[in-house]
Amino acid sequence: MRDPNAPPSPVASRWRYTVSLAQGAHGCDAVLRRGGSRRLDAGASVTAMTTPGIPGIDAGSVTPVPLDGEQVVGSASTEVRSPYDGTLLGSIPALTAADVDRAVAAAKKALHENPLPQWRRAEILDKAAVLLAERQEDFARCIALEAAKPIRTARGEAQRAVSTLQFSAAVARSLAGEVVPLEASSAGEGKLGFILRVPIGVIGAISPFNFPLNLVVHKLGPAIAAGCPVVLKPASQTPFSAILLARVLFEAGLPTDYLHIVTGGGTVVGNAIVDHDDVALITFTGSPEVGWSIRARAPRKRVGLELGNNAPLIIEGDGDWRSAVAKVKVAGFSHAGQSCISTQRLFVHSSIADDVIRELTAAVDSIVVGDPMDEATDVSSLISTGERDRVAGWITEAAAQGARVASGGVIGDDGVLRPTLVVDATPEMKVCSQEVFGPVVAVTRYDDFDDALRMANDTRYGLQAGVFTSDVTKALKAARTLDFGGVLINEVPTWRADQQPYGGLRDSGNTREGPAWSVREMTEERLIILTG
């Protein structure tokens, strides 16, 4: 933890006061809750709490959320604690379906009465990227504390979020329709046709705990670029990154009626968002079970789902296996494996399997486990003890079914599950057939490349897959055969660029994210015909 006697950084000093927002035409008014009150414009900066904890969040009170131009605390609240040591980080409102109704009504009104022109959307996103870049360390600290993501990894997420905002701004500036060649037929003579891309309407966004900043930005950035107001439900375990992001967006000039945060349980506020008639699109990242239930519950809405995966990586005998091992050390265990593209199933050619297992075992043994705020930490705790115990149970079950635990597989005195390498795993084991979402890599040997491709495809998921080979013929065969949304050659399936089209098949989802692709989903094509 940071020394409580250390002076606040210049960046952290921006977050000291919470603010009460009142809707304005181009920004917000603010009332400082400490040291008297005065009105601020949307661009005014606020300063940070100097006590240990999340900058800008008072652990001793309920953190209000922006809703209908106000800061709302609700009538009930939920505590948010560190997954690593249980430290109280703060509390959030436990809002209701009535609060969702209010948020959606305000968002719908904003869309019709205060539409955002493209230049202004881009300007807001560009400014937000600058502000977020200035405060990356504060956001990294927030991510590390609320998600138990090691601080070095958390910094990477904050940096990626800046890029996602920048790419969203670029899309806002370049968003365009197309000309329809009506005069290609005699019936169209004398007519001009073109297509406009218009906002689809109010967007309901439901985000997960594992990337509490960047995956929120992947929903809000494209929505702003498309001109759509958003009602956002962040994960209850990790809400503060989203709340702090909202403050940045408002400071960047986003009208307060274009973003409303509704914290609370999924069965209450989540269902209220999904069921609301005035929500035009749902964007959800999470488990397949919840995602497909949303799709079934909202058959008349556009629903974009980013779901699970049990990402496979094939290492051929001619591939650079040493490079693969070095990458898997990170790709299989970063953020304790809590990523839908965490490398999970490792298929290794028998000719190199012993070497790979030996080197990978040593690599996993060297991973530093501990406090997410410690600069030396590589892996920290899972999001909850329940998840930890589930993953530990799957490891024990695999060992009972004949696999060998080459490294890890135990819960330390600090309560953290150690990074685990399971060797000679078979397809029916849960560590192979299901999404572990924990710090586990399962190794399976193979003799024939076609068998490796078949085993990789033997899954209900289909997000990303990877292959290491020096043979271009095998690489092309893998690209054509692996039935996944993305196939990476000589790279782990965990690699992602925020501007790429990212998404999967089957139980991995039904859409593509990345600002340019998300904006397509968040806009409608409107045909215009002029007769002269």
Catalytic residue, candidates 340, 432, 513, 521: 340
- Would you call 79 a catalytic residue per the annotation? no
Residue tagged active-site, from 251, 306, 513, 521: 306
**340 given a catalytic annotation:** yes
User: What is the SS3 assignment for 191?
Assistant: strand
Please give the Cα distance from 73 to 512 (Å, whole number): 35
Q: Are 282 and 302 in contact (CB under 8 A)?
A: yes
Q: How far apart are CA 373 and CA 474, in angstroms?
A: 43
What are the residue ranges of helices labelled H in 175-305? 214-226, 240-251, 271-275, 288-297
Report how far residue 209's alpha carbon sits from residue 4's, in angstroms, rounded to the nearest whole number. Answer: 27
The whole-angstrom separation of Cα 12 and Cα 58 is 14
d(CA 220, CA 229): 9
Q: Which residues have CB under 8 Å from 122's CB, separation 6+?
A: 169, 170, 172, 173, 225
**416 within 8 A of 370, measured Cβ to Cβ:** yes
Task: Give Dmax (Cα) for the chain.
Answer: 79
Give me the DSSP letters along 465-484.
EEEE-S-HHHHHHHHHH--S
Task: List, by residue number, the catalytic residues.
Answer: 306, 340
